[in-house]
Amino acid sequence: MELTLIKDESLLVIKLPRMFEAFIEIIIKLIGLYFTYLVFKKMGISLMGKEFQTDTLFSLLLLPVLYIFKDSHVVFKPFTIKVLLNDKDVTVTSGFFTKRHDKLTIRTVDNIELITTPIGRLYNYGTLHLYTPGATVTLPYIKNAIEIQVRIENIMKVQNGN
């Protein structure tokens, strides 16, 4: 099997649809938290009557809200990712202030996992996880992820002589 692959091909990372998807996930979490607040408020009033203090309930739900906002940086994460693929290895660089640089030799890959979301299927992108005995490298929000998975599997076959 002959394989032709451009050296250090930069894979397209989907940015705006993933940003929208992350924003929607945060909104859904906040709406769920609000409904939790309403249910507990209703239960508190029905159990305790006028003695029930909504301030206590509000303070108990403040920490989960802060936890949700703590992870809001994922909205901008796609704008910091660069993925390079060649016939020997894959390299993922991510981060704005703190740069993370992952490199994995393709011949050592044991398994490839593809994760797609409903919006990812609509816009034809997904996240690939490449597993080796000692490491995992994630290729996040890759356009045409199924085609990239097949290409990596073909590279693995050529390199392993299958």
Q: Which amino acid is at 146?
A: I
Rounded to 10 degrees, the C-alpha dihedral 95/137/69/59 comes to -140
Contact 142, 129 (CB under 8 A): no
Does residue 2 surpass a pLDDT of 80?
A: no
Look at residue 137 in the predicted model and tell me its pLDDT: 94
Half-sphere exposure of 37 (CA within 13 A, CB side): 19
Q: How many CB atoms lie within 10 A of CB 56?
A: 10
Q: What pairs with residue 104 in β-bridges?
A: 90
> Percentage of the chain with pLDDT > 70?
96
Look at residue 4 in the predicted model and tell me its pLDDT: 55
Look at residue 1 in the predicted model and tell me its pLDDT: 47
* Angstrom distance (rounded) from CA 113 to CA 9: 21
Query: Alpha carbon of 162 to those of 2, 48, 136, 155: distances in Å?
Result: 12, 71, 23, 10
CATH of 9-14+76-160, one of 3.30.460, 2.60.40, 3.40.50, 2.30.29: 2.30.29
Contact 129, 112 (CB under 8 A): yes
Query: Alpha carbon of 65 to those of 32, 35, 53, 62, 147: distances in Å?
Result: 11, 13, 19, 5, 39
Contact 34, 68 (CB under 8 A): no
pLDDT, mean of residues 86-114 = 91
* Angstrom distance (rounded) from CA 75 to CA 70: 11
Mean of the per-residue pLDDT values of the chain? 88
Contact 29, 67 (CB under 8 A): no
Look at residue 146 in the predicted model and tell me its pLDDT: 94
Does residue 6 surpass a pLDDT of 70?
A: no
List, for residues 112-145, the tens digit of each pLDDT value.
999 999 999 999 999 999 999 988 999 999 999 9
* Angstrom distance (rounded) from CA 66 to CA 22: 16
